[in-house]
Amino acid sequence: MADSRQKKPELFELNNGSLQIKVSNYGCTITSLSVPDKDGNLADVVLGFDSLEPYQKGASPFFGCIVGRVANRIKDGKFTLGGVGYTLPINNPPNSLHGGFMGFDKVVWDVVEHKQGEKPSITFKYRSHDGEEGYPGDVSVTATYTLTSSTTLRLDMEAIPENKPTPISLAQHTYWNLAGHNSGNILDHSIQIHALHLTPVDQNAIPTGEIMPVKGTAFDFTSEKKIGSSIHHVGLGYDHNYVLDCGDEKMGLRHAAKVRDPSSSRVLDLWTNAPGMQFYTGNYVDGVVGKGGSAYGKHSGLCLETQGFPDAINQPKFPSVVVKPGEKYKHSMLFEFSVE
């Protein structure tokens, strides 16, 4: 089988007349997503680069990509499974982050289907081999982006371990700025997160194992509130896993979050079947030069990374992220755009 890294990174477009998305087979990366505002004016609402070269050269802080085999942090890059100890690359000292140095975001996926029409879609496939970035067993992964209506984007991710149990937890790492990718910071956006709890972390951003109520803290977004209103109480900004335990359900998905930008009136509602969501306010983005020469600074985008809980492989009380041969990992996200 040809090494996937020899395949050519390309850009593909999905367009249904009102939403337009550009996505690459390099890391299943959304590089651009144009959405109308209250007056019908289109703006690109995701951070990224004009060409694929900066992504390939490592200039991207995970803009727009799918991360895996395991999203988020694994403590000290170590875990034990079935009595065997595994050691992962420490790419975010002292931890392993988002699958390691060459995670799913830094490989070229196969394009297995690209459909135009009323519900345009594209399906990517990647086969992760046993021992890749330290993880056990071969895993076959697919990701399908579909414009399911004039205002919705759906992502369906599936993974099947072929021969060994392995942790699997994928996340979509798009940085959103509903005013437009080049419009400054997201501190005026408001957000509602359908979570009564989060998983607090130690000084190395690893969960302590506790499930903490958000009520009465700066982390409480159970009612919609401005992101900037309490951010100064949480260190560098938000970078926390919320326990999605109180959202409405539809089509087997739970309402995770609602984000609103007052300047354009754009609204994003996110639905998912994942148990957690990392709410990240771009705290480490610092002078990245993006599309059209825009300088992206701190807090210039926000991420809504639905996921298994961070370090779940080392936390027996967290929902398990281990998938065995014969089982299938399934993770879906529905992004609904509107104006209010």
Candidate list 98, 173, 240, 255, residue with the active-site label = 173
- The mean pLDDT value for 31-51 works out to 97
| pLDDT single digits (tens) 142-186 | 999 999 999 999 999 999 999 999 999 999 999 999 999 999 999
Burial of 194 (0-12, 13-18, 19+ CB in 10 A): buried
Residue 253, CA distances (Å) to 69, 83, 141, 148, 271 in order: 22, 34, 21, 15, 6
Q: Do the Cβ atoms of 22 and 30 come closer than 8 Å?
A: yes
Candidate list 98, 299, 305, 331, residue with the active-site label = 305
| pLDDT single digits (tens) 192-225 | 999 999 999 999 999 999 999 999 999 999 999 9
What pTM value is reported for the model? Answer: 0.97
Q: Do the Cβ atoms of 194 and 95 come closer than 8 Å?
A: no
Residue type, 226: K
The per-residue pLDDT for 155 is 98
* Token pair for 38: 């209250």
The per-residue pLDDT for 3 is 52
Q: Do the Cβ atoms of 224 and 326 come closer than 8 Å?
A: no
The per-residue pLDDT for 7 is 84
| 329-339 and 266-272 strand pairing | antiparallel
Tokens 């065995």 sit at which residue? 324
Rounded-to-integer distance, Cα 267 and Cα 285, Å: 23
| 171-172 and 166-167 strand pairing | unpaired
Q: Do the Cβ atoms of 244 and 301 come closer than 8 Å?
A: no
Share of the chain above pLDDT 70, in %: 98
Q: Tell me the average pLDDT of the chain.
A: 97
Is 173 among the residues known to form the active site?
yes
pLDDT for residue 1 is more than 50: no
Q: Map residue 229 onto helix, strand or coil.
A: helix
Could you tell me the pLDDT band of residue 259, with boundaries at 50, 70 and 90?
A: very high
The per-residue pLDDT for 6 is 63
Tokens 């392993």 sit at which residue? 96
Rounded-to-integer distance, Cα 280 and Cα 302, Å: 6
